[in-house]
Amino acid sequence: MAECNVCFRHCDIKEGKYGFCRVRTCDSGVIHPVNYGMAMSLALDPIEKKPFARFRPGTRILSVGSYGCNLQCPFCQNHEISWPDNPDAADEMSRFISPEELSGLAAYWRKEGNIGVAFTYNEPLVAWEYVRDTARLVKESGMVNALVTNGTADSWVLDEIAPYIDAMNIDLKGFSEHYYSDVLKGSLDMTKAFISRAVRLCHVELTTLIVPGENDSDDEMRRLSKWVASLTDADGRTSGKDIPLHISRFFPRFHMTDRKPTPVRTVYRLADIAREYLSYVYTGNC
């Protein structure tokens, strides 16, 4: 047995078993990700799809995703890969792509306007080692790296990958402990700490999915936006008001089919509240 220290859970993982994320396992007393390099999704996407609104607009980026996640959002749109019923079966449906091969593919697709690699679709940081190893090679080739993450990782993980990451879109899924701990099985404190550090290291954009009856109150959006606006950069300047916030519309998915899609007017109302504090607010899925 060994302890995994990637996120707040600090899972004690028995030999040959998995942690909460269904990815990190114990092998001879050493914790490692069984999905290292195992790609389930690979696509050349517009950068805006990640979403990024203020990082290299109009470009395309090679997007790669594996399986596994350290949250359990009941509305997950990628639940087939984020929460596979059987990690061994997921492995069989994946293709191994080494860091060298992925970096080479990124360079090959430059001819189609590719600017680098985005680690996305599932939660990339459950296999942060692969992100680090690949991003280093991509960076050395003169291309960029983007990370789409839920921000549920300790600061040391961020420090391991930060030298190679140019941009992050981080989910700030709400702004209440109840929502994070009871609904998402996560930690608001860890996500806030991750975001606070990330904005000092690279370009950051945030995404908040608005779920009816969960995080759709004016008060919660006001508190969330005020906190983002208060964040400081590496020089200690309060520059949080310039962090882009994407406010997105919920649709019934996975285990949360007991409510209708978020009313468009709700998304627009909350976006207007966010604009009282933030300079760049975008609405999605409307």
Of residues 143 and 77, more confidently modeled: 143
CATH code (residue 157): 3.20.20.70
Q: Largest alpha-carbon pair distance within the chain? A: 54
Please report, as a single letter, which amino acid is at residue 69: C
The whole domain housing 58 covers 36-284
For residue 45, what pLDDT is reported?
A: 97
pLDDT at 153 over 90: yes
Band (89; pLDDT cuts 50, 70, 90): low
Tens digit of pLDDT for each residue in 196-207? Answer: 999 999 999 999
The phi, psi pair for 268, rounded to 5°, reads -65, -40
What pTM, to 2 d.p., does this model score? 0.96
**Crossing angle of the two packed helices 218-229 and 264-274, in degrees rounded to 10:** 40
Q: Give Cβ neighbours of residue 236 (< 8 Å, ≥ 6 apart).
A: none
Residue 156 lies in a domain: yes
Number of domains making up the chain: 1
Q: Which residues, in sequence order, are CB contacts of 176 under 8 Å at separation 6+?
A: 188, 215, 220
Does residue 28 belong to any structural domain of this protein?
Answer: no
pLDDT tens digits, 37-61: 999 999 999 999 999 999 999 999 9
Residue-level pLDDT at 69: 96
- Average pLDDT over the chain, rounded to an integer: 95
